[in-house]
């Protein structure tokens, strides 16, 4: 084995580096206390770099994601079933995440430096629905009005879907968008390289000026994420398999063990994709046409774990700042988190970026909360990715079964 190969194997993953940075930041905060305020600016620079990437990332990733569904349009039955399953599953995940964090109350006892304008509580989501539609998308990009950017991105992606087959120039635009999306993901990846240093400085400053009380709340959030993910995997997905797919959940999980183990160890839906496709075809009995058509889009837009994650982040921050959302605001937040989960960047730490997006959109300060999320992201991402890929496999089995195409002899073998 070459020296270069050994070096690659020894290289720590970004989520693990972030976890180490969290621990070192806590230690530094305890030891140096208020002196840690001198390095807080490094963490602020990291947050600003994330914000720099947020708006173009959302724009291009959602356009690219919606446009990729154009391939599904060639098979309307499969495409319709896929979108129906994705909507039901992701929406259920968002609701579950909201209920879980509300029950645990994680974030209530946080001690933070930032303050929030409580007028956010008085905003009527019905009154602001009209504002979701941008009158000038360039103004939306300039002001960072994320909901308007998302609406425009979806609309633009749908238009690509409708006319790319008949207009070669539109296909070229779609390729340009895909290229821009790849560039933005690389940019986020580059920012994440320095993320451990930013997280170290932010956490050291936070602990040094507020004490260690926050750690209990942070790990309560982690346990909330794991609990919600477990409920979705062990209760909601089996219900979908039983009543939507008419198959045995126990058989499904036996067949899907390789996928679950791969997702758990890599924390990457993209890295798990080859295993997801192989297991779906050869163990779960899903026909090739459905797997080839749905597996890649599912790894991008069917993100149950991410939907749970983002609702937990947002309400965790709301608890921390004493903000009480109305029912309509919570509904809006869940929809926002589901949309953001579909447009999440497929790079290590992409959920950290989306955490910042969701908090900003809901009018909540994000620097301190984003730092906390980044510090324990490896723990959050294990549960999230495992749920994401389990949901993908479940969805393809349900679609194949409903269309009468599932090879049940292979599934039950």
Residue 407 covered by a domain: yes
More confidently predicted of 211 and 380:
380
Residue 11 covered by a domain: no
Tabulate helix, strand, coil % of the chain (nearest 5): 80, 0, 20
pLDDT at 314 exceeding the cut of 60:
yes
* Predicted local confidence at residue 232, as pLDDT: 96
- Report how many domains make up the chain: 1
Residue 10 covered by a domain: no
Residue 72 covered by a domain: yes
Confidence of residue 269 (pLDDT cuts 50, 70, 90): confident
pLDDT at 74 exceeding the cut of 80:
no
Average pLDDT over every residue of 242-264:
90
What single DSSP character describes residue 103?
Answer: H
Confidence of residue 212 (pLDDT cuts 50, 70, 90): low
Of the given ranges (24-33, 39-48, 80-89, 259-268), which has the lowest mean pLDDT? 259-268
Range of the structural domain that residue 110 is part of: 21-411
Nearest-10 Cα torsion for 320, 322, 326, 328? -30
* Predicted local confidence at residue 364, as pLDDT: 87
Identify which of 234, 279, 284, 288 has the alpha carbon closest to the alpha carbon of residue 259. 279
For the chain, give the mean pLDDT. 81
Cα–Cα distance for residue pair 307/3, rounded to 1 Å: 41
pLDDT at 407 exceeding the cut of 70:
yes
pLDDT at 119 exceeding the cut of 70:
no
Residue 213 covered by a domain: yes
Residue 370 covered by a domain: yes
C-alpha 345 chain-centroid distance: 8
pLDDT at 116 exceeding the cut of 70:
no
Provide the CATH number for the domain around residue 273: 1.10.3860.10
**In angstroms, how far is the first alpha carbon of the chain from the final one?**
39
pLDDT at 75 exceeding the cut of 90:
no
Residue 218 covered by a domain: yes
Residue 73 covered by a domain: yes
């Amino acid at each position: 084995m070459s020296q270069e190969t050994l070096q690659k194997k020894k290289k720590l993953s970004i989520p693990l580096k972030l976890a180490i940075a969290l621990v070192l930041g806590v230690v530094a905060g305890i030891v140096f206390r208020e002196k840690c305020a001198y390095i807080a600016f490094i963490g602020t620079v990291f947050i600003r770099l994330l914000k720099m990437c947020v708006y173009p990332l959302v724009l291009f990733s959602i356009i690219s994601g919606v446009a990729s569904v154009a391939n599904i349009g060639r098979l309307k039955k499969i495409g319709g079933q896929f979108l129906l399953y994705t909507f039901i599953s992701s929406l259920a995940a968002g609701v579950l995440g909201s209920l879980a964090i509300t029950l645990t109350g994680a974030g209530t006892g946080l001690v933070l430096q930032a303050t929030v304008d409580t007028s956010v509580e008085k905003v009527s989501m019905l009154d602001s629905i009209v504002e979701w539609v941008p009158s000038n998308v360039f103004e939306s990009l300039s002001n960072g009005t994320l909901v308007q950017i998302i609406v425009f991105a979806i609309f633009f992606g749908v238009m690509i879907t409708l006319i790319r087959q008949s207009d070669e120039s539109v296909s070229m635009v779609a390729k340009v968008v895909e290229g821009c999306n790849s560039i933005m993901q690389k940019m986020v990846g580059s920012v994440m390289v320095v993320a451990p240093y930013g997280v170290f400085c932010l956490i050291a400053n936070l602990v040094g000026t507020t004490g260690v009380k926050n750690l209990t709340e942070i790990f309560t959030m982690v346990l909330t994420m794991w609990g919600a993910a477990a409920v979705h995997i062990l209760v909601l997905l089996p219900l979908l398999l039983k009543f939507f797919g008419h198959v045995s959940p126990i058989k499904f999980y036996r067949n899907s063990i390789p996928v679950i183990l791969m997702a758990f160890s890599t924390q990457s839906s993209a890295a798990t994709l080859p295993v997801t496709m192989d297991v779906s075809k050869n163990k779960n009995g899903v026909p090739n046409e459905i797997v080839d058509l749905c597996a890649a889009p599912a790894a991008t837009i069917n993100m149950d774990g991410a939907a749970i994650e983002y609702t937990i982040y947002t309400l965790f921050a709301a608890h921390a700042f004493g903000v009480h959302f109305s029912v309509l605001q919570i509904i809006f937040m869940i929809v926002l988190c589901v949309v953001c989960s579909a447009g999440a960047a497929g790079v290590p730490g992409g959920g950290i970026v989306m955490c910042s997006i969701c908090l900003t959109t809901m009018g909540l300060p994000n620097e301190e909360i984003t730092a906390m999320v980044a510090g324990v992201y490896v723990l959050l991402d294990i549960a999230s990715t495992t749920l994401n890929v389990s949901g993908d496999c479940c969805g393809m089995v349900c679609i194949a079964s409903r269309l009468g195409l599932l090879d049940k002899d292979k599934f039950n073998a």
